[in-house]
Amino acid sequence: MLFTEELFTTATYNETDLVYRLNNGDQQAMSELYDRFSGALLGVIMKIITDQATAEDVLQETMVKIWNNISSFDTSKGRLFTWMINIARNQSIDKTRSKSFKNTSQNSSLEDSVYVSETIPAAGASADTLDVKNWLLHLPEENRKLMRMAYFMGYTQEEISKELNIPLGTVKTKIRNSLIVLRKKLNVT
Amino acid sequence: MDLSCIIQSGDLELYVMGMLPPEEAAKVETLAQLFPEIQEELNAIAQTFEAGALQAAITPSASVKEKVMASLSAQSSDSNNIPAAKVVEMKMEAVAAPVRSFSKLAIAASWGLLILLGGLSAYLYNNNSKLKTDVATLQQSSAAYEEQMAGLTKKISSYETYRRLKSDPSLTSVALASVKPEVQQQAEVFWNRATGELFIDPSSLPQVPAGKQYQLWFLIDGKPTDAGMISLTDLSTIQKMKECRGAQMFAITLEDEGGKPTPDLNALVVAGKVG
């Protein structure tokens, strides 16, 4: 453990401590991690899988995966929360591509689910009923679709370029511009 | 160091989203370790997704946590069964159960001890060789990392030199284009008319065949003068050439290693007029 301690300099103390304890197989640390992040991770998963029971199964798989793979997380290369979000996304995307998921009629298809979670209220609904939980709604329609494909549907740059019929370079530019908008809206400095 | 082109490329966003191929991701990681600005940008991007996730949080049912914690316990009790200990136990039971006499018990016990010792030394030996492999792997990856760093640093310094030359008002830059319109070869010359200083950026020229070398010329009224040989060892860096005065045109020929006093027109690769 001696040399890993040197790598921990960029992270906050709590995160460092948590990761250290997880690496030592401390189940109490896992319990704390769950209390702190499970809600946010379920939110990410439910952007991809709308059925709550299925989404909770994926959350469980995600947590076990975090526990089993914590040794491959490198604090010098990234942030714990982002690393976990990416595991949750990948686990969800894998799930939507699995046979069992596609065969279950109660699960709406990936396309449907993503659209459902982004339905804008019908005319007449008051502004405060707008789905404030959907942070992608801060983006103009075209960029929202693109970010949804990239972030929640696991499309590659090339696939997005083909699907939306825009050049590869434009995909990158639009992703960056979307992030700049979101940064402001979500108050990230 | 101007990092805006890297920050604005969109690659950092793709990196955080896990959408970059491994080699490009490794490049971003190296850049982030070299430049705090890149690391800050990566953090801001990651925080954006984190803020989005927090805003959209949904509390899971209480039963999920129980299931998660239970599956951790199940896994860790699996891994507590260390093979070495199991072997000894089984042998002891198998031999000890049917016999009662003290000497047989003693023999069995010493067998047990022997197996235990054997198991222990095998375990230690395995552990030791695993550690050795780990160290070797670590050394290897650190060497690869250093190599990558060196390459990158060189690239950055060459880019910086290029930028410095390009923005220096006392230097005239002359693009040398291929003589054949269908071929896209080129080089760029930076020339200080007052002092005669001359630089060449040969990074876009094709690799030379063995035994050959590029030679730079400057022409006054059509008469060529040798401006020096372009170093073979590193075509990717900007090189300082011989002093040059009154040039109206620059040209590069592909000559035998060491060059020639006068150029062969057939060996002409690229040329460009001073604007």
A60: Cβ–Cβ under 8 A, 6 or more apart, which residues? B64, B67, B68, B71
Q: How confident is the model at residue B273 (pLDDT cuts 50, 70, 90)?
A: confident
DSSP sequence for B126-195: HHHHHHHHHHHHHHHHHHHHHHHHHHHHHHHHHHHHHHHHHH-TTPEEEEEEESSTT---EEEEEE-TTT
Q: Report the pLDDT value the prediction gives residue A127, as an integer from 0 to 100.
A: 36
B265 against B167, higher pLDDT: B167
Q: How confident is the model at residue B218 (pLDDT cuts 50, 70, 90)?
A: very high
Asked if the Cβ–Cβ distance from A42 to B46 is below 8 Å, we say: no
**Residue found under tokens 């939507």:** A96
| CA distance to partner chain B, nearest, from residue A1 (Å) | 14
Tell me the β-bridge partners of B218.
B225, B250
- CB of B77 less than 8 A from some CB of A: no
Question: Which range has the worst mean pLDDT, A107-111, A122-126, B108-112, B220-224?
Answer: A122-126
Q: Which of A56, A82, A173 sits opposite B60 (nearest CB)?
A: A56
Q: How confident is the model at residue B87 (pLDDT cuts 50, 70, 90)?
A: very low
Residue of B nearest to A131 (CA): B56
Q: How confident is the model at residue B23 (pLDDT cuts 50, 70, 90)?
A: confident
Q: Report the pLDDT value the prediction gives residue B183, as an integer from 0 to 100.
A: 67
Asked if the Cβ–Cβ distance from A172 to B14 is below 8 Å, we say: yes
Tally C-beta pairs within 8 A across A and B.
Answer: 132
Tens of pLDDT, residues B238-250:
888 999 988 988 9
- How far is residue B185 from each of residues A19, A177, B6, measured CA to CA in Å? 52, 35, 26
Q: Are strands B268-273 and B172-178 parallel, antiparallel or unpaired?
A: antiparallel
Q: Report the pLDDT value the prediction gives residue A133, as an integer from 0 to 100.
A: 60
Tens of pLDDT, residues B37-57:
899 999 999 999 999 999 889
B43 chain-A contacts, CB cut-off 8 A: 79
DSSP secondary structure letter of residue B204: T
Q: How confident is the model at residue B257 (pLDDT cuts 50, 70, 90)?
A: confident
B118 pLDDT higher than 60: yes
State the best of B15, B27, B30, B68 to mutate against chain A, taking most chain A CBs within 10 Å. B68
Q: Work out the average pLDDT over B17-26.
A: 87
Q: Which of B8, B50, B67 sits opposite A85 (nearest CB)?
A: B50
Asked if the Cβ–Cβ distance from B76 to A27 is below 8 Å, we say: yes
Tens-level pLDDT at each residue, chain A (189 residues): 333 333 333 344 578 889 999 999 999 999 999 999 999 999 999 989 989 999 999 999 999 999 999 999 988 778 999 999 999 999 999 998 887 777 664 444 444 444 444 444 334 333 333 455 678 888 888 888 899 899 988 899 899 999 999 998 899 999 999 999 999 888 877
B265 pLDDT higher than 90: no
B76 chain-A contacts, CB cut-off 8 A: 25, 27
Q: Work out the average pLDDT over B192-217.
A: 88
Q: How confident is the model at residue B1 (pLDDT cuts 50, 70, 90)?
A: low
Q: Report the pLDDT value the prediction gives residue B181, as an integer from 0 to 100.
A: 64
- CB of B67 less than 8 A from some CB of A: yes
B88 pLDDT higher than 50: no
Asked if the Cβ–Cβ distance from A25 to B65 is below 8 Å, we say: no
**What span, in angstroms and rounded, lies between the C-alpha atoms of A174 and A181?**
11
pTM to 2 decimals? 0.52
A68 chain-B contacts, CB cut-off 8 A: 75
Asked if the Cβ–Cβ distance from B51 to A187 is below 8 Å, we say: yes
A129: Cβ–Cβ under 8 A, 6 or more apart, which residues? A121
Q: Which of B13, B51, B56 sits opposite A176 (nearest CB)?
A: B13
Q: How confident is the model at residue B63 (pLDDT cuts 50, 70, 90)?
A: very high
Q: Report the pLDDT value the prediction gives residue A3, as an integer from 0 to 100.
A: 39
ipTM for the predicted complex comes to 0.79
CB A142 within 8 A of CB B11: no
Average pLDDT, chain B: 82
Structure tokens at B154: 């060189």
**What span, in angstroms and rounded, lies between the C-alpha atoms of A30 and A38?**
11
CB A35 within 8 A of CB B60: no
Tens of pLDDT, residues B137-151:
888 888 888 888 888
B132 against A171, higher pLDDT: A171
- Percent of chain B whose predicted confidence (pLDDT) is above 90: 19
Question: Which range has the worst mean pLDDT, A4-13, B62-71, B158-167?
Answer: A4-13
A58 chain-B contacts, CB cut-off 8 A: none
B60 chain-A contacts, CB cut-off 8 A: 38-39, 42, 56, 59
B233 pLDDT higher than 90: no
